[in-house]
Each structure stands twice: as C-alpha cells, then as structure tokens.
C-alpha cells in the first residue's frame, strides 16, 4: 500500500513494519532484525511470541471474551486479582482493572478523593505530585504530571499540583549532596502540604523510580521512608505509580519495595499485560477498601472494557510465565550486569548511568566532568536512538538535565528474559551506536 490511513506519531512519516517477534528480537517485513532493548515502551517484559500467553488467550476467547463488569464477573478477572494480591506486598489486595496506565493513574486520583469523601472529609481533594514525573496522557493523569512539553498546550485543564522537587541526586535541585542534604527533596512534600493545608490534600502520587521524565531517577536510601512518614503524619494517601516499575521490571515485584514504604494505592500498567493485551489496574489496601465498604460501596469510575476477561487471561499467563521462569531474579541480575557494562564503556558523553534491575537510565552530556547538558535543540537522545536503531537496537527516549531547560537521556529496558548471549549482542550494537554518536560530536 503506498497510502496509509493510520495516524502515526509523526504525521505523514513512515515507519518500518514488523512481521513477527521471538523473545527479545523483532523481525521486520524487510528482513531486518531488532534487539528490543526498550521492550517497546518498557512494556513487553516477557519478550515476544510467548506461546503460553497466546494459548491462554485462545482458550479464553473460545469461552468468553467480554462480560460487562456491572452484570457479571469472570473466572479470569477473579484469578488475576487474586494473583496480584498474592504478588503485591502487604495488604495491597484489591484490584480495579482498566485499560491503560493513564486510566489507572487517573482512577487512583479519583479513588483517593472519593476515599476522603467516604471518611467524611470532602475538603481533601488536591493530589500532589513532583516535577519530573509522568502519570499519563489523559487530562487528569496529565495534570498530575510534571512534564512541561506534554502539558503546556492544555494548561487550562490542568488541576494537579506537580510542584514537589524530584529526587535527582546527579543534579540536586537544592545543590546539595547526599546524605548531608538531609533529604530536602522529601521534606519539600511537607512544605507543599503546609502551604496548601493538609485538610485540602487527598494524596501524593510518585513513580518510585522516575521513568520517562527523569531517565530512571533512583531516590537515595531513606527517601520513601520519609515520604511515608510525612503522608501518614498529615493523613494523606500515598499512591505509588508503578506503571513502568511494576511487575518485576526493577528486580522486585514493585519498585517501591526497594525502600521500606507501603503505598495505600499502587498503579499498575505496561508489564501487567506485557504487550499481549491492554490492561492496567489500581490496587488498594484493605484499609482503603474498608472506607468504600463502610461508605457508598462503589467506585465512581470504570470503563466498558474494565476487567475484560480476554485481557485478564493474557495478564494471568504473563504473570505465570514470570513466576515459572524466575524472571524477577533475572531482571535483578542481568540489570546489574547491563548497568555495569554500560558504565564501563567510559563514553565521554555518558554523564550518569542509573536505575534498578532492567530499567536503566543513561544521561547524555556534553562534558562528563561538569555534567554540561546537551542543548535541547541538539536532540542528542533522539540521535543516539536513531543510531542504535540503524544498528538494530531499540532504546527508549527520556527527559533529563537542568530544570525547564537543556539536557537529554535514553532508557535501556530489554525484556526480563534477556540472557548472557543477548546481553552481549545488546552491548555490541550499543557500542557501535555510541562510536557513531561520538564521531559526530567531534
Ligand atoms: N505512569 C507512568 C509511570 C508511565 O510511565 C506511563 C507511561 O509511560 C503512564 C503512567 C501512562 O501509561 P499509558 O501510556 O499506558 O497510558
């Protein structure tokens, strides 16, 4: 077909077509292969073409593909909710299913507001969040997102308050160094609460490890313990947005488990369906659910495709595959190896390599010693991604650098299945892309 009716990210642009995928590789219609070093959009966590998932979806489709959530439940959705309760820490036991990470973050926002209504405190409606954050593209989720490029066109509709400093140690917003900083970035939450009055605040939402908006910012030890303390003391809910970090990606079931901090609501997406079906969830603790049970007994949200049996069957098979193949442990071990190998490349334009498990942020700089950022107009991240693509390696774009200004980064996040041979191939292709990038900088 020489004419396309599909709207693509770059309108009028062309994209290569993929014929099929196997494991960490994608195969193009033109015969090229790509090592999926980004799991698509950090989504395809078990790799491509997994037979067990296809079979589970086929079996479910032959039984029943759709039931309306107000009329019926399904064995698949019940089993998935039970499996999530078994996997998630503490009493995060109650799943509300939606179709995308944005919907899930927005539902969590609504649930937090409704929770306080159920408890007889309707003035608690503000949801606080951080700069350098991304919680989704729908208006509610976007309004929580401290991501200027994505929100500025829609300012009028932005109701969230993303004004808390990010835990960005490589470029501390307070110009401090850990641990002498005394975790000023966590204390910033306390300041924001005081400014607005705790009686007006429903929740604080954060990505345990900041994804696209910060290229895998890992807060220092004690950060989330302090955040939990502040939330509890001020009676506000803590929502962990685990859309990117959840379901094994960082070497733990949830990213927040790298700290001693229990969220009140967890938001899941991406790796929950691992690209096999659109599914996401908000998971609530027993305490949060109790308020709804004692109150209106319904959540004022939901979608036609919520708790879709077909998506639930796919997701359940994905989680089973992760369990059977010990992929969370593999993510931890191979993630450590990949991070070390990228660090040891010693490329002058790699200013910082960070992250946990197979979620690795690579901040690109003009000068490593001074961390001088690339100018925005240089589009350094996009160029490195392009060069990697030419060498058959997929990387994910991310934002990093000085606040509101210059800087660039990419994310490496291959499927949790990646083995030693595939890691070596990743590095071979990445090294070639880096050499080409470096040559262009001269
Ligand atoms: N939350 C986080 C942390 C994300 O990384 C994303 C997507 O990148 C979202 C929410 C939105 O998810 P979706 O693109 O599935 O709507």
* Cα 151 to ligand 1 centroid, rounded to whole Å: 14
Mean pLDDT of 65-72: 96
Give mean pLDDT, residues 300-328: 97
Q: What is the pLDDT of residue 403?
A: 80
The confidence score (pLDDT) of residue 190 equals: 98
- State yes or no: pLDDT of 310 exceeds 60: yes
What stretches of 183-252 adopt beta strand conformation (E)? 201-206, 237-241
| 218: nearest Cα among 359, 58, 24 | 359
Mutate to test the pocket of ligand 1, among 243, 280, 355, 398 (most ligand atoms within 8 A of CB): 243
102 close to ligand 1 (CB < 6 Angstrom)? yes
Ligand 1 centroid to Cα of residue 135, in Å, is: 6
- Cut 0.95: pTM above it: yes
Q: Which two tokens stand for residue 191?
A: 């300041």
Cβ–ligand 1 distance for 190 under 6 Å, the answer no
163-217 residue pLDDT tens? 999 999 999 999 999 999 999 999 999 999 999 999 999 999 999 999 999 999 9
Q: Is 396 in the pocket of ligand 1 (CB under 6 A)?
A: no
99: tokens are 């179709």
pLDDT of residue 11: 86
Distance 134 CA to ligand 1 centre (A): 7
Q: Which of 145, 124, 113 is nearest to 234 (CA)?
A: 124
- Provide, rounded to the nearest whole percent, the portion of the chain with pLDDT above 70: 100
Query: Is-contact 34 28, C-beta < 8 A?
Result: yes
Q: How confident is the model over 266-298, as pLDDT tens digits?
A: 999 999 999 999 999 999 999 999 999 999 999
Question: Rounded mean pLDDT of 427-441?
Answer: 97
Contact 243 CB / ligand 1 (< 6 Å): yes
Residue nearest to atom 10 of ligand 1 (CA): 135
Handedness of CA 82, 84, 89, 93 (dihedral sign): negative
Q: Kindly report, residue by residue over 238-260, the tens digit of the pLDDT.
A: 999 999 999 999 999 999 999 99
Between 346 and 407, where is the model more confident? Answer: 407
pLDDT value at residue 179: 97
* Cα 300 to middle of ligand 1, angstroms: 21
* Cα 42 to averaged position of ligand 1 atoms, centre (Å): 10
When pLDDT is cut at 50, 70 and 90, the band that residue 2 belongs to is low
């Amino acid at each position: 077909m020489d004419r396309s009716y599909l709207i693509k990210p770059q309108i009028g642009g062309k994209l290569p077509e993929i014929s099929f995928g196997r494991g960490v590789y994608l195969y193009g219609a033109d015969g090229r292969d790509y090592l999926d070093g980004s799991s698509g959009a950090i989504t395809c966590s078990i790799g491509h073409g997994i037979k067990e998932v296809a079979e589970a979806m086929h079996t479910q489709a032959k039984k029943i593909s759709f039931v309306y959530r107000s009329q019926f439940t399904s064995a698949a959705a019940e089993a998935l909710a039970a499996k999530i309760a078994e996997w998630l820490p503490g009493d995060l036991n109650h799943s509300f299913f939606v179709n995308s990470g944005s919907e899930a973050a927005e539902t969590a926002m609504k649930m937090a507001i409704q929770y306080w209504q159920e408890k007889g405190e309707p003035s608690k409606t503000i949801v606080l969040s951080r700069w350098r954050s991304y919680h989704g593209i729908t208006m509610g989720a976007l309004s929580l997102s401290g991501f200027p490029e994505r929100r500025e066109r829609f300012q009028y509709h932005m109701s969230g308050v993303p004004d808390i400093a990010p835990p960005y140690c490589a470029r501390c917003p307070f110009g401090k160094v850990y641990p002498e900083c005394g975790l000023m970035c966590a204390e910033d939450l306390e300041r924001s609460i005081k400014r607005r009055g705790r009686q007006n605040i429903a929740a604080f939402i954060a990505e345990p490890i900041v994804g696209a908006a910060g290229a895998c910012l890992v807060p220092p030890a004690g950060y989330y313990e302090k955040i939990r303390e502040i939330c509890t003391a001020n009676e506000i809910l803590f929502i962990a947005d685990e859309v990117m970090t959840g379901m094994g990606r960082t070497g733990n079931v949830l990213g927040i488990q790298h700290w001693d901090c229990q969220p009140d609501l967890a938001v899941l997406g991406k790796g929950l369906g691992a690209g096999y079906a659109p599914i996401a969830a908000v998971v609530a603790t027993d305490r949060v659910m109790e308020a709804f049970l004692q109150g209106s007994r319904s959540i004022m949200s939901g979608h036609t495709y919520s708790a879709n049996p077909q998506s639930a069957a796919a997701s359940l098979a994905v989680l089973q595959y992760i369990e059977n193949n010990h992929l969370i442990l593999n993510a931890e071990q191979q993630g450590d190896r990949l991070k070390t190998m990228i660090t040891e490349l010693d490329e002058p334009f790699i200013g910082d390599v960070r992250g946990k498990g197979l979620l690795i942020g690579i901040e690109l700089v003009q000068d490593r010693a001074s961390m001088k950022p690339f100018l925005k107009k240089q589009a350094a991240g996009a160029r490195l991604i392009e060069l990697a693509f030419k060498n058959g390696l997929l990387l994910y774009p991310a934002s990093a650098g000085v606040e509101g200004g210059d800087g660039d980064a990419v994310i490496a996040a291959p499927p949790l299945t990646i083995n030693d041979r595939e890691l070596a191939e990743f590095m071979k292709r990445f090294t070639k892309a880096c050499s080409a990038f470096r040559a262009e900088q001269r």
